[in-house]
Amino acid sequence: MRIRAAIASDIPQMKRLILESPSAAQWNDADYASLFNSSQPALRTALVMEESGAMFGFITARSIGSEWELENIAVATASRNKRIGKQLVGELFKLAQSQGASAIHLEVRESNQAARRLYQSCGFQETGRRRSYYNNPQEDAILYSFSFSSPKK
């Protein structure tokens, strides 16, 4: 398996993975298309893990100066618990750090324990809460940050 930059033709497989991940952000077509907006390519990042044309997971992020936000991550149901999410986060760390990032932030549903364990295992620290941030169902968001000045676990 390899991790590479996503391209626009990956969108159908990315959408399929999102359907397998109801706790991930459920994007619309415009959200996916914005990943490949050529007017601001350096501000958005999408990486996929694939082998022989089959996608096993993806991660997306955006940068604003030295601050990055992990926007979305999804792993195929049959490929979970195989460290694919951790590898994708690790690759995002490398990319962000190579571009001068000081930190990466994210929010996650409070009930999404698998994602929270992943983020904590990658060195993210819980930094706050947004009450009733999510809908369908209504739920708090837990905020996490990773600082590149702190040692990674």
Domain count, the chain: 1
Q: Which residues pair with 141 in a beta bridge?
A: 109, 130
Q: Provide the pLDDT for residue 38.
A: 63
94 to 76, 97, 153: CA distances (angstroms)? 23, 5, 14
For residue 84, what are the domain limits?
A: 2-147
**pTM of the predicted structure, to 2 decimals:** 0.90
* Distance between CA atoms of residues 135 and 22, nearest Å: 12
In a domain, 48, yes or no: yes
Q: Which residues pair with 50 in a beta bridge?
A: 2, 55
SS3 of residue 35 by DSSP: coil
In a domain, 29, yes or no: yes
Helix-helix angle 113-121:84-98, to 10 degrees: 50
DSSP H/E element including 136 = none
Residue 136 belongs to domain with CATH number: 3.40.630.30
In a domain, 138, yes or no: yes
Q: What is the pLDDT along the chain (153 residues), one digit of tens a residue?
A: 899 999 999 999 999 999 998 878 888 888 898 888 766 656 889 999 999 889 999 999 999 889 999 999 999 998 888 999 999 999 999 999 999 999 999 999 999 999 999 999 999 999 999 999 998 889 999 999 999 985 554
The token pair at 8 is 């626009």
In a domain, 20, yes or no: yes
List residues with catalytic annotation: 107, 119
In a domain, 27, yes or no: yes
